[in-house]
Structure formats: structure tokens, C-alpha cells
Structure 1
Amino acid sequence: MTTMNEAKEFIPVRIAVLTVSDTRDMTQDRSGDVLVSRLEAAGHVLADRKILRDERAEIAQQLRDWCAEPQIDVVISTGGTGLTGRDVTVEAHRDVYEKEIDAFGTVFTIVSMQKIGTSAVQSRATGGVSNGTYLFALPGSPGACKDAWDEILVKQLDYRHRPCNFVEILPRLDEHQRRK
């Protein structure tokens, strides 16, 4: 059973949003808009937002650049998680991950199954950690972004969420890189 510890103070995190698309620009980025509106409504801070083409090396470099920024705690990408030849976002994320959050993709699939049935098998949502930053790759549909945010991320990115959440361990993600 999950609960909220209302005695704890909410801690906003700084989130960068990356849309991966060969065809969209900011005026057509409905999935990015969904993520921005939800993260801001939850009390978090939009740290940066970009759109990149489906190019693995460029996506991975942008992820690395954001992970090197101390002002960014979380990166959420949308798009490029499917099965076609141009869908390379998952591979780009995995090029950057130090650790993969295996259960994120599993939980996303469970959530998706309730909405779209067996079509959920075509999604390759993934999550991981690099350089003290959380990274999540979501499908490019607004519905998938709503589902991932509303059912998983809004809770895990809330310090008050019990029994545990991503925010409480955020300061320790890069402890292996610190001098002893």
C-alpha cells in the first residue's frame, strides 16, 4: 500500500524534457506539452526542453550534456521507443546509463496493458541513472506520457510518497564518484 507522508515538505526537482521526432517542432509537440504541463502542475521545475531528430549519437550526447548539468535532476524523453528502424531513443538512453531501472519498463507495461491491451508489447519504455541524474524514455504519444506521469513518475518524483521514492535517494545516486 502506498501513501503520502503529508508531514514531509514537497521537494521540487528540476526536469528536462526531450522530444525525439523527425517531423515535429515545438508547435506540434503535444507529448512534450503534456509532460511540461504535468510536471509544472505537480510543483516541479522545467529545467530545459528540446526537440531532436531520431539520431542515436545526438540523443545520447544531449542526455550526457544534461546529466553533466547540476541544475538538472531528471530527464524525460518522449518518442523513438518503438520498433521501427528510426526508433533509437532506447539505445541512446542505454548508451548513457550507468544503471538501468529495469522495473520502470515493466511497471509502464502493466499500466499500458490496462489502457491499450496487448499493444503495450510494442513499447520499449525504459529508465536509468547516469551521473546522479534520472533518465526516462517514454513513447511519443500524449496518452503514453499521461499514463507514465500520472501512474508512475508523479508518485516516484514526490519526496512525500511512501514507502519509498526516487527523490529521497537522489543525493546518493553519484556517491560512487565522490572522493573518500
Structure 2
Amino acid sequence: MKSKSMLQHKKEAPKKVTCAVITLSDSIKNKKQDKSGKILINALNEKHIVKEYHIIPDDSKMLKSLIKKLANDVDVIFTTGGTGISNRDITIETLREIFEKELEGFGEIFRYESYKRLGSGVILTRSTAGIYNKTLIFALPGSPNAVKLGVNLIIDELGHFVKHVRE
């Protein structure tokens, strides 16, 4: 059951938002190889507008620089990759350095829904979301199935989320 205020907020929210997708990978070199990036772009373009798409290595400085540039041009940034626990997985630490607010609920729901499908191995993912410079950022794992799950959890609420970030 949805609240009256939530329904009102959704009415006032933008119907389409602009998005950017960043794939972080040391092994993916071109857009043809990037299955997760394609899945994310295709899903987002069904309801919103993907303005930017980049593939970068797992490099903290490059990620911060790109996010700072993109935050001036889009409402929402999605990253895919680098959310695990290997030494090269730098996405979460990098984002937490720049987040003005973290939206822990996304990671909690993502892990809960993943757990129902996959079991306790999902403890290894550190997916999260947050806000930087009035821009929403969602950090998804690099696996295609994880990207499908993550985007499906939030795609219908993106306009609602953006409305609140802009306030």
C-alpha cells in the first residue's frame, strides 16, 4: 500500500530522467564486450534517456574525475563493476569519498533480493547508492544478472528519486 504523499510526489516527479553508465573493468576494452553495460543502457532507454556511456579501468582517480564531469550533465549515474572484495575493486571506496549522502537502503534491498535467488554468497557484494552534487549514483556489480536485478529494483522510481534530490 502506497502512501498519499508518495503518490503525490510521484505525480510531481519528472517522467524521464537523464542517465550515464560507467563500466569499470580492467578486462573489458570495448563496448561490444560489455554485456552488463548494454543491459543497463537498454533497460534505462526504455523509460529514460542515457546520454553518456563510458568504459574505464578500475582506477579511482579516473572514476572520480568522470563522475565530477558527468554530474553536471545528467540526473543519475550508474556504475557497473568493482563492487566486490578483490584488491582491484575500488568503486565503493571511491564513491564513499565523494558521496554527500549515502542511500544504504538500495544496497540492503539489492542484497536481500540477491540472497533470495543466490544464497549467502551475495555477502561479497557491496552495492550501494548515494548523492553527489545533486546527482544520484547507483553502484551495481559487474555481472549481467546483478545489473538486471539492480536496475529493475529502481527504474520505475528514478523520477521520484530525482525529484527529492533536487529539493
Give TM-score, length-normalised by structure 2.
Answer: 0.90
The 2-side partners of 1:63 and 1:46 are apart by 15
Q: Hey, which of these two has a bigger chunk of helix by percent?
A: 2
The 1-side partners of 2:2 and 2:44 are apart by 20
Residues matched between the structures, number = 162
The 1-side partners of 2:69 and 2:101 are apart by 17
SS state at 1:26 partner: coil
Moved over 2 A (4+): 1-5, 7-10
Amino acid in structure 2 at the alignment position of 1:124: R
Q: Deviations over 1:72-102 (max 9, x none)?
A: 0000000000000000011111121111111
- Work out whether 1:109 is the aligned partner of 2:111: yes
- Equivalent residue for 1:166, pick from 141, 161, 165: 161
- Equivalent residue for 1:38, pick from 32, 37, 43: 43
CA RMSD of aligned residues (A): 2.0
SS state at 2:32 partner: helix
CA drift of 1:117 comes to: 1.0
SS state at 1:81 partner: coil
1:176 counterpart residue number: none
- Work out whether 1:19 is the aligned partner of 2:23: yes
CA drift of 1:171 comes to: 2.0
Matching of residues 1-180 of structure 1 within 5 Å = 1-2=1-2, 8=11, 11-24=15-28, 25-41=30-46, 43-67=47-71, 69=72, 71-150=73-152, 152-157=153-158, 159=159, 165-172=160-167
